[in-house]
Structure 1
C-alpha cells in the first residue's frame, strides 16, 4: 500500500522580479561616467576641443580677423562657422564636454572623499598571524613585559607620525598597528577639488565677466569712456548687460618706451588721466606686468605703436586733420594703415558731396628707415621716421553699411575701378612737416606722430577663485607625489609562559603603494624597536 504524504498548503511563491533594464542602464552609465578613466578621457577631450580656439580666429577676441578669414576663405569659412570654430568656447559641443567633465569629477571625488574620511576615522587593522610573509619583517628579543614593549614601540611610531593602535591578545601577547601616508589620498582629493574650483571659476567667469579692447592714442582729444560704442572690440558674458559696466573715462597723457640695441622692448609704461564714476580725474601709471586696477575692471597694457597725424586740404580749401593708428606688422614696428577722407570736396555752393571725389591714403610708417631703402623699419624707435603713402580717389565704399576693416582700403572697390590710384606705382615718401601736392591741387601734410597704447580691459569675478584653485591644485599634486601609504605591525609575546623577564618582538611591514624607500625606513624602525629608542 502506497502512502501519499500530504504537504500543508502554503501561499503561492511570488514570481521572480524581472530586472528594470532602464534602471540598470542608468546605473551602469553613471558608474562609467564617474570613473577616473572617463574623467581622464574627458579632460583630454577638453584639451583637444580647445585647439580650434587657438587655430582659428575667435569672435570674442578679434572679430576683424574673423571677417578677414571669411574674405580669404569664402568656401571654407561658412562650414567652420556651422561647426562653431569661430566661437569655440561658447559652442554647444565644448559646453557638453565641459559639463560632462564637471559631472564626472563630482561623481568621482565625492565617494572618494567619504571613503577617505571613513579611513581616517577607522583604527589601523590588527596584525596578521604570519608577519614573516610580509615583504619586510624581523624578529628580536627585548627585555621587559610584552605590554611595556608594545607601549615603547607605539611611542616610537607616534614620534614618526604613524597612526597607532595597541591591542591585547588572548594569548597574553600585545600587538601594535601603525599606518602612515594618508596625505597621498588627501593630496589627490585636494587636486581634484581644486580642478573643480577652476572649472567653476571658468564657468562663472564666462557668465558674469566681460572684456574689451581699445587702441588709445595720446592726447586730450583721444580719450574714451566705458561704453560699448567707444570700445574697439567688446564681449559681454551671457549674464552681463551694458548697464552693468563700471563707469570710468581714460586719457593717455604720456607714454614712455625704451628699446635694447637689438630692438627688443626694454620697458614701456603709460600715464593716464582716469576718472571713475564721474569723479575728479586722477593721474595713474601702469606697465605691462602691473595693470591699472579700477573698481570693477582691470586695464592691461598689451602693446603700443605710432599714430600718424595728417591734414588734407581739398580743392575748395577746406581742411581736415586726422590722427590714425598704424598697426605694427613686425618687431621693428614697420606699421601699416589707411587714412580715409569720405567727407571732402564738398561744393560750398550746393553743399553736396561727390562720392567719386572721396580720398583714401594707404601705406606704411617706418620709425627708422634703413640706408638701403627697404620698405621695412630697421629699429622700433623714431630715429629716422618716414611715411610712405599711396593716394586713391573715388568711392571708398563706406556708405553701403557693410562691416569692414578700418585699417585697409576696400580691395573690392579698387578691383571694380571705383577707387583709382592717382599716385603712380611707387608710394610717395613724406617726412614730418612735408606736404604732398596731388594732381588736382589738393594737398596732404604729414604733421607728425603720436604714441598709442593697446589696452585690454578685463573683469573676471572669479579671478581669486582661479588663483586659489591653481595654488591648491599645485599643493595637492605635490602631496600626492610625495605621500606613500604603508603599514607596519609589531607583536610582543612573552619568551616563555609564566615569565616576564623577556619578550619576543616580531614585526612586518607592507607598502600600500610603490615606495622604494620603504626598506630603509623599516630598517630604521627595526633598529629603534630593538634598542627601545626613538
Structure 2
C-alpha cells in the first residue's frame, strides 16, 4: 500500500491520469449522450443494432457518469492532493527557515568575487552587506564565527509558490467542473412573442434539457416567463447591431410580475438560474379554413437557414377536415400541413429562394400543401419543422398544392376548396436557462492557474553568501559567492551588479596579494571570477 501511494502521489502519475481523463472524454464528444440528446441515442441504437448495445454496456452513451470515468477523476483528485499537500508543507517550512551558512570555499561557486574591503570591523562590514541585500529584497541571515562573520541570503521562493499555485488551481478547476456536472443544469426553449406563448420552469415545457447527475426535475427554481417583444437593429448590409428581448417574468409561486430586457452578454439573473439570449427568428402566422368552413390558426416558429434569416418550417393542422356535425366519419388522410420557406425580404430574383435582408422589408411565404396521414399517431418522435419522410415515401402523405408565394394577408385556395391565409409573423427568441454552481470556482481557478504559471516560469531561485574577515591593517575583507538553484543566464549580471554596488558604497577594492603579478590586473581592481 505504501508503494502504491508513492506511485499514485507522484507528479508523473498525476500527468498520466490527466492525459487519461482527456482521452476518456473523447467518446463523450463523438457519441450522443443520453442526458443531452436521448432521441439521438435511440436513433443510434436503431441504426447500429450490433454495435450499439455493446457501446451502451460500456457506458459510451453516458461517459461522464460512467464508473470508469469517475474512477479516473477520483484517482486524479487523490493524486493531486497527495502530491500537493506534502509539497505545500515542505514549502512553508522552507519559507520559515533561515538561509544556510556560507560554505568554506566561496571561490568554488559558479559566481564569486574577493578583494572587496570595508573600513569598519567585520560586524559593521557584514551589517552593510546585509543591509544592501535586504534593500534588494533578499532573505538575509548574519552569523558570527571565531574567524569572522558570514552573511547568507536567498531569493526566488516565488517560483515554487507559483508552481504550487498552478497545481492547486488545477485542482480547483477539477472541483468546479465536477460541481457543475453534478449540480448544474441547462435547458433551451424557443419562445414566440405574445402572452399566450410563455412558459414556466418545468421539464415538459422545454425543447431541450440537460440535468446534472445530482439534479432532479423538482430541483428547478419556480419561475414563469413570456416574451413581450423582440427588436433588432440592422445595417444596410444586413449586419445586426443590437438585440433586445423584452420579457415579463414572475419568481416563486405567488411572485409579482416584473419586466426586464435580455441582451447579448446581459442575461436575466434569477434566483437559482440565469436566462441567456442566443438566437432569434420569425414565426409565420397561418390560418387554415378546411372544407367544412372550420378555421384554425397556428403560429409556427421557423428554423433559420442563413444570416439573412431565410427560414423553413411546417404549419400542421392534424385536426382539420373533421365534420363538426359528426355526420361524416373522420378520415386521417384529410390531415393537412404546409411545408414553407419564409423570406423576410424577397430578392429581385425570386428563383434564388434566399432573403436579401434579415429585416422584414418585403416579406413572403413560399409554401407547398400536403394532405393525408401526418404520422403523428404512430408513437415515434418526429421533427416539428419538417414532414415525416417515411409518410411521404409510403404514400400516406401526398402533395396537393405546388409551391405558391404569398405576401402578408394573401390567401391560397386548395383543390378541395379549403383555404390557407398568411396572416403575418411574430418574432421568436431562443432562450437558454442555465445554472452552473461551479462557474465561480472555475473562473477563480483559471485566473490563479495563469498567475501561477507565469510566476513559476519567471521566478528564479538563487543564493548569495559573503564572508567578512579582519585585515592586517584593521579593515575588513569581503568575499562573495553566488549559486543559482536553476540554470539562468541573468544571474551573472545580477551578481556583478551586486559587487559593483558594494564597490560604490564602500570604496575601491583591495587586490589580493596573490594576484599582484597577474597581467592586466592593477591595484584597486576587484577580482571577479566566473
Give TM-score scaled by structure 2 length: 0.89
Deviation at 1:68, TM superposition (A): 6.6
Distance in 2, matches of 1:37 and 1:262, equals: 55
- Picking from 332, 339, 348, the partner of 1:362 is 339
Equivalent residue for 2:365? 387
Deviation at 1:377, TM superposition (A): 2.3
Equivalent residue for 1:524? 497
Distance in 2, matches of 1:529 and 1:340, equals: 91
Deviation at 1:349, TM superposition (A): 2.6
- Picking from 77, 95, 119, the partner of 1:143 is 119
Distance in 2, matches of 1:391 and 1:51, equals: 44
Q: Match of 1:347, SS?
A: coil
- Picking from 486, 502, 511, the partner of 1:513 is 486
Distance in 2, matches of 1:312 and 1:513, equals: 81
Equivalent residue for 1:13? none
Q: Is contact 2:186–2:433 with CA below 8 Å preserved after alignment? A: yes
- Picking from 415, 418, 423, the partner of 1:439 is 415
Equivalent residue for 1:252? 227
Distance in 1, matches of 2:28 and 2:305, equals: 22
Deviation at 1:526, TM superposition (A): 1.0
Call closer, same or farther: CA 1:131–1:34 in 2, change over 3 Å. same
Long gaps (5+) in structure 2: 507-530
Call closer, same or farther: CA 1:381–1:48 in 2, change over 3 Å. farther
Q: Match of 2:445, SS?
A: helix
Distance in 1, matches of 2:498 and 2:223, equals: 67
Equivalent residue for 2:384? 406
Aligned residues: 502
Q: Match of 2:401, SS?
A: coil
- Picking from 274, 288, 300, the partner of 2:249 is 274
Deviation at 1:64, TM superposition (A): 5.6
Long gaps (5+) in structure 1: 1-25
- Picking from 398, 401, 404, the partner of 1:423 is 401
Equivalent residue for 1:3? none
Equivalent residue for 1:318? 294
Larger displacement relative to structure 2 (187-196 or 36-45): 36-45
**Is 1:166 aligned to 2:142, yes or no?**
yes
Larger displacement relative to structure 2 (93-102 or 449-458): 93-102
**Is 1:341 aligned to 2:321, yes or no?**
no
Q: Is contact 1:63–1:233 with CA below 8 Å preserved after alignment? A: no
Distance in 2, matches of 1:463 and 1:174, equals: 55
- Picking from 37, 40, 45, the partner of 2:15 is 40
Call closer, same or farther: CA 1:64–1:387 in 2, change over 3 Å. farther
- Picking from 452, 463, 480, the partner of 1:487 is 463
Call closer, same or farther: CA 1:269–1:339 in 2, change over 3 Å. same
Query: 1:210-254, CA deviations, whole angstroms, 9 ceiling, x for partnerless residues?
Result: 111110111111111111111111222232222221111111111
Larger displacement relative to structure 2 (33-42 or 66-75): 66-75
Call closer, same or farther: CA 1:142–1:176 in 2, change over 3 Å. same
Larger displacement relative to structure 2 (513-522 or 145-154): 513-522
**Is 1:134 aligned to 2:112, yes or no?**
no
Deviation at 1:30, TM superposition (A): 2.6
Q: Is contact 1:357–1:394 with CA below 8 Å preserved after alignment? A: yes
Call closer, same or farther: CA 1:229–1:49 in 2, change over 3 Å. same
Q: Match of 1:532, SS?
A: helix
RMSD: 2.2
Q: Is contact 1:292–1:299 with CA below 8 Å preserved after alignment? A: yes
Distance in 2, matches of 1:62 and 1:79, equals: 19
Q: Match of 1:450, SS?
A: strand
Q: Match of 2:352, SS?
A: coil
Distance in 1, matches of 2:91 and 2:465, equals: 21
Query: 1:61-103, CA deviations, whole angstroms, 9 ceiling, x for partnerless residues?
Result: 4556656767877777666555555444333443333222222
Deviation at 1:490, TM superposition (A): 0.7
Question: 1:87-106 alignment to 2 at 5 Å?
Answer: 87-106=62-81
- Picking from 256, 264, 268, the partner of 2:239 is 264
Deviation at 1:52, TM superposition (A): 4.2
Call closer, same or farther: CA 1:75–1:430 in 2, change over 3 Å. farther
Larger displacement relative to structure 2 (136-145 or 72-81): 72-81
Q: Match of 2:337, SS?
A: strand
